[in-house]
Each structure stands twice: as C-alpha cells, then as structure tokens.
C-alpha cells in the first residue's frame, strides 16, 4: 500500500495506490478539497470489455507484450490474455496475476521522496475515523463512533485478514497498540474452494482441460461465482444459480456417458440441483458452510483471542472486501458478542481512501507497536552462560561476539520521533586488529520477530540495513567512538551514525 508524500509543501494532491492480492485500485484528493471535506476522495471505476461489473478496484493482473512492454491491466489484461490463449497465440506474451507479492521486491518508477508506505490496517482505521455516522451500518448499536476510544480493525481482503487494535488519544492522535496477524483468509481462498468443488464434481483433468481450451468460459464461470457469492445472506437458504458453460457440460457428459443431472445424483449432491441448459442451483447454506466458513475458522479464532486479551474494546470495525458480505459480518457478530460491529458501506475502499487521508495528515499516527525487535551487532564482555562459541579473547579481555544489542523490542510501543541510541566503541590497540583501522566499519541493523534476542545468529534474526563507516584519512584512531541512533519516523526508521566527522543517515523500512 503506498500513498502520499512526507513533505506536502507545494504539492497539489495526494494519490494512493492499493495493491491488493485480488484487486488493486487508486484514489486521490486535492489538498484544497481535503481542507473543506476530507472524504471528498476521487476513486476510479474499472470495467472490462465484456464485463458487466463496474468496480472501484480491478483484478491485480498485468499483461505485457512479447517485447515486455506494458499492454494492459486489470479486467482488460485478463480478457485479452484469455482470448490469446483461446486462439493459441499466447506463448510469447507475459501475463502476471496476483502481482502484489512480486511488487514487494521493488516499487516501480516513483521517486522515493514522493512516495511512502502506509500500513493497510492503519489506513483503514483512519478512514473509519473520518467516516460520518450515517455511512456506517450496524445492527445493534447506534452510538457515536467518535466517542469510541479503543477499536479493533478487522480487515478481510482477498488474500489476508489483518487484526489491529487502535487507541484514539485525541482528534489528532492515534496509537496502534497491537498488530495481531489474522492470517491467510480472504475472498481468493473462497473462490479456490469453489474451483476445488468443481474439480470434485467434474474431475481434476476435465477442469484442467477446460481451463486450457475454453479459458474465457472458465473466467466467466469464476466471475459468475464472484458475483453470486456476494448475494449470500445469513439465515437465507435461497439457491444460488450458476451457469455451467455448455462446453464443460458437453465434454463431461461425453466422458461419463450420462447427463450432469445423473452425475450429481450419483454423487449424492443433494444441495445442488441442475436445471435445463446447465443451470446449477446451489443452496446458499452449502456455499457458506463449505466454501466460506472452514477457511475463516482460524482468523475468527484470532479475533476472539484479541478481544479476550483486550477486554476494553469499544467496537469492531470490519473493513476490506469481505466485510461487504452480510454472511461474513453475521459470523463476526457471533464471535464478538455484545461489542458493536461497524462496516463502512464501501469497505473495500477503506484502505485506499484511508491512505489518501494518511498522505494529508501523515503525523496523525503518533505511536505504533513494534512487530519486530531492532538491534545492532556488537561485541560485549563475555558473561557466564554465554555461548562458548561466541568467546573471543582480545586485548587481554574476554568478549562475546555476534551479540544483539536491542534498540527496540517486539511489542514495545514506539512514539513518533522516539530515538534510541547506542555508543559504538572500536579499539584497534591489539596488534591483530591494527590493520582493521584501514577498513570501513560495517554497522549492521538486524531485525527479529522474537522479543528477546541474544545473538544476531539466532534463528529468525535477519539483516535489515547497513551503515558503512568510511575510513577517515590516516585510518581510524586507535580508539574510535560513534553513536548509532534509530529514530522512529512514521513508517520509516531513520538510522543515524554520528562521529566527530559528522553524521551519516540511512532510511529504512519500519517493518510491520
């Protein structure tokens, strides 16, 4: 999720791009409009050539020409690639779907001064804070959202569900006090359950063949499921109708030697009925109980745990595309009991719109909990109980190498502008070390998910960034001292190395 800029001086607008697992979109608002109405945010509406659906986000898919130049994005990319496949012309083209994970490796073509990363749950929380009450639907509680002091944001998207807990300190100050990762639950997995069910009914090989030979029919079937699954309501068992493509029906019946109706009868699929011309009616409860709930169980359990850990939660904000499902929200309500659940009408836009708001007011999140420990590699005196393999004798003393000196610990609440510092001392007196005075010193910052880390070689401890201290003219003095500072600067960490020659700064991602 990216959006905004850290310095807004002279800038006209803030734009945000939300790269989602399933869908991506962008939104923007002008600085002048923001001052009058923060929620005046423009969102694009996407549609494909043959698609009936208009949506504020488009599938996260890209098609590149054979020469690797850009051809199309979203619905268009999916449709164009399907027709290339059907015409057997796709071999030289490059089609990427669910591109979010690939984007983690590089951002693309935007000057780093003009971009910043925004954490999705924070953006969603901000958006909900700005939402007017009439835009929030809630069955049980109609009290004012602005009076809520501690909220749980439950963001259910395409590929992941995130849980975070935010504390509203004042109009201008929000603290993120807990980030519990809900896990891999999202709309994409529900569609995958449906595809698995199709494989179960028609056979894996048949579906594979169908996907290959009739790709656009396959895509239409999934799009049909995508639209119809959104109609599922709690406590309503109305059968949902899916059109099974005639190409799939005909080839399967040819292999079986009998009709699809007979086949389903033989499989005892009583929740499914076939009507004329391949119209399949599946009971809503079957879809909910077989495609939605089994995969949601774990994240609902995480939700329950988070609520019992924080007994003082005032309300749950359900955002992300899945929060638009009345059936899913009804399940959430079962887990949260008396705590009111709020859902913005445009819940799938909460992240991208919230990122625009964050771009305008990027210092509103004044504190956030560290998901990782941050520390630097040091040598310290060896103490009883230390790993014998880390023992080093130097200058008449016994040292412990590879020691992790924590600057922030996982679970710490760090405030905007907080600085943690450490004095780094290097001695080159020892004959064996004297030659090192003429080599740069590497100051390495490590991260780990663990709260207590002893050595940088511990499992899960990873290099996060390095500041190289260049050799001064004539080499380092026999005793060299510098200060390493880590400043928490929103979604970034500013690492500064200060010595008598000046200050060296690098900017690193605050991992979340």
Ligand X SMILES: Nc1ncnc2c1ncn2[C@@H]1O[C@H](COP(=O)(O)OP(=O)(O)OP(=O)(O)O)[C@@H](O)[C@H]1O
Q: Which is nearer to ligand X, 274 or 288 (CB)?
A: 288
Q: Is 359 in the site for Mg ion (CB under 5 A)?
A: no
Q: Is 354 in the site for Mg ion (CB under 5 A)?
A: no
Residue nearest to ligand X (CB): 187
Compute the distance between CA of residue 218 and CA of residue 155 in angstroms, rounded to an integer: 29
**SS3 category, 2:** strand
Half-sphere exposure of 206 (CA within 13 A, CB side): 20
Binding-site partner at residue 360 among Mg ion, ligand X, none, CB < 5 to 8 Å by type: none
Compute the distance between CA of residue 284 and CA of residue 287 in angstroms, rounded to an integer: 5
Q: Which is nearer to ligand X, 19 or 34 (CB)?
A: 19
Stretch that binds Mg ion, among 20-28, 38-46, 165-173, 446-454 (CB under 5 A): 20-28
Min separation Cβ 323 and ligand X, Å: 8
Q: Is 20 in the site for Mg ion (CB under 5 A)?
A: yes
Binding-site partner at residue 230 among Mg ion, ligand X, none, CB < 5 to 8 Å by type: ligand X
Q: Is 182 in the site for Mg ion (CB under 5 A)?
A: no
Binding-site partner at residue 188 among ligand X, Mg ion, none, CB < 5 to 8 Å by type: ligand X
Q: Which is nearer to ligand X, 252 or 324 (CB)?
A: 324
Binding-site partner at residue 202 among ligand X, Mg ion, none, CB < 5 to 8 Å by type: none
373-381: strand order across its sheet: 391-394, 397-408, 373-381, 441-448, 462-469
Min separation Cβ 74 and Mg ion, Å: 15
Q: Which is nearer to ligand X, 354 or 375 (CB)?
A: 354
- Based on its alpha-carbon atoms, the radius of gyration of the chain, rounded to whole angstroms, reads 28
Q: Which is nearer to ligand X, 59 or 375 (CB)?
A: 59
Q: Which is nearer to Mg ion, 322 or 351 (CB)?
A: 351
Min separation Cβ 118 and ligand X, Å: 13
Min separation Cβ 320 and Mg ion, Å: 6
Binding-site partner at residue 226 among ligand X, Mg ion, none, CB < 5 to 8 Å by type: ligand X
Count of helices and strands (H, E) across the chain? 13, 28
Q: Is 157 in the site for Mg ion (CB under 5 A)?
A: yes
Q: Which residues of 165-183 are buried (b: 16+ CB within 10 A; e: fewer)?
A: bbbbeeeeebbbebbbebb
Site size with Mg ion, rule: CB under 5 A: 3
Q: Which is nearer to Mg ion, 73 or 93 (CB)?
A: 73
Residue 495 near residue 485, CB atoms below 8 Å: yes
Residues that bind ligand X in the complex, under the rule CB under 6 A: 20-23, 57, 100, 157-160, 186-188, 226, 229-230, 320-322, 324-325, 348
Binding-site partner at residue 159 among Mg ion, ligand X, none, CB < 5 to 8 Å by type: ligand X
Residue 292 near residue 190, CB atoms below 8 Å: yes
Min separation Cβ 202 and ligand X, Å: 22
Neighbours of 157 (CB within 10 A): 27
Q: Which is nearer to ligand X, 120 or 178 (CB)?
A: 120
Phi/psi at 184 (5° precision): -85, 80
Phi/psi at 6 (5° precision): -70, -35
Where do runs of H (alpha helix) occur along 230-349? 246-256, 260-266, 284-287, 293-309, 326-336
Q: Which is nearer to ligand X, 19 or 428 (CB)?
A: 19
Closest Cα to residue 371, out of 122, 90, 88? 122
Binding-site partner at residue 322 among Mg ion, ligand X, none, CB < 5 to 8 Å by type: ligand X
Min separation Cβ 182 and Mg ion, Å: 13
Q: Is 186 in the site for Mg ion (CB under 5 A)?
A: no
Binding-site partner at residue 365 among Mg ion, ligand X, none, CB < 5 to 8 Å by type: none
Q: First and final CA of the chain: distance in angstroms?
A: 12
- Name the strand (E) or helix (H) holding 228: helix 215-229
Binding-site partner at residue 33 among ligand X, Mg ion, none, CB < 5 to 8 Å by type: none
Compute the distance between CA of residue 24 and CA of residue 296 in angstroms, rounded to an integer: 22
Cα 79–Cα 83–Cα 89 angle in degrees, nearest 5: 130
Residues that bind Mg ion (CB under 5 A): 20, 157, 351
């Amino acid at each position: 999720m990216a959006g905004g800029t850290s310095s807004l001086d002279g800038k006209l607008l803030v734009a945000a791009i939300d790269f989602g697992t399933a869908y991506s979109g962008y939104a923007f608002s002008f600085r002048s409009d923001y001052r009058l109405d923060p929620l005046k945010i423009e969102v694009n509406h996407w549609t494909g050539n043959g698609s009936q659906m208009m949506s504020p986000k488009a599938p996260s898919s890209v098609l590149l020409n054979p020469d690797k130049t850009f051809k199309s994005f979203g619905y268009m990319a999916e449709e164009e690639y399907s027709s290339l496949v059907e015409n057997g012309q796709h071999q030289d083209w490059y089609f990427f779907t669910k591109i979010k994970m690939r984007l983690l490796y590089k951002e693309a073509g935007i000057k780093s001064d003009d971009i910043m990363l925004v954490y999705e749950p924070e953006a969603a929380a901000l958006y909900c804070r700005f939402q007017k009450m009439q835009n929030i639907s809630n069955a049980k509680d109609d009290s004012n959202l602005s009076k809520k002091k501690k909220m749980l944001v439950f963001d259910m998207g395409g590929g992941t569900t995130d849980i975070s807990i935010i504390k509203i300190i004042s109009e201008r100050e929000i603290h993120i006090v807990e980030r519990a990762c809900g896990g891999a639950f999202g709309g994409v997995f529900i569609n995958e359950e449906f595809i698995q069910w199709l494989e179960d009914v028609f056979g894996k090989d048949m579906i594979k063949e169908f996907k290959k030979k009739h790709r656009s029919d396959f895509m239409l079937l999934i799009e049909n499921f995508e639209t119809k699954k959104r109609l599922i309501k709690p406590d309503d068992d109305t059968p949902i109708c899916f059109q099974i493509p005639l190409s799939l029906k005909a080839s399967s019946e040819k292999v079986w030697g009998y009709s699809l109706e007979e086949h389903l009868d033989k499989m005892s699929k009583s929740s499914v009925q076939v009507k004329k011309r391949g119209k399949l009616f599946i009971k809503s409860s079957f879809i909910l109980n077989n495609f939605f709930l089994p995969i949601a169980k774990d994240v609902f359990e995480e939700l329950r745990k988070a609520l019992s850990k924080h007994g003082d939660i005032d309300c749950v904000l359900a955002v992300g595309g899945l929060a638009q499902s009345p059936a899913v929200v009804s399940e959430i309500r079962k887990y949260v009991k008396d705590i009111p659940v709020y859902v913005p009408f445009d819940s799938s836009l909460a992240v991208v719109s919230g990122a625009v708001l964050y771009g305008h007011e990027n210092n509103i999140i004044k504190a956030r909990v560290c998901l990782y420990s941050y520390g630097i590699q040091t040598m310290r005196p060896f103490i009883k109980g230390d790993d014998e393999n880390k023992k080093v004798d130097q200058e008449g003393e016994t040292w412990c190498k590879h020691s992790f000196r924590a600057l922030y610990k996982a679970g710490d609440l760090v405030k905007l502008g907080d600085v943690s510092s450490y004095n780094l001392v290097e001695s080159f007196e020892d004959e064996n070390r004297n030659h090192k005075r003429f080599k740069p010193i590497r100051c390495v910052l490590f991260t780990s998910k663990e709260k207590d880390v002893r050595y940088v070689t511990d499992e899960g401890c990873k290099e996060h960034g390095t500041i190289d201290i260049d050799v001064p003219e004539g080499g380092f003095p026999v005793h060299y001292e510098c200060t390493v500072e880590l400043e928490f600067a929103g979604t970034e960490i500013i690492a500064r190395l200060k010595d008598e020659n000046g200050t060296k700064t690098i900017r690193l991602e605050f991992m979340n």
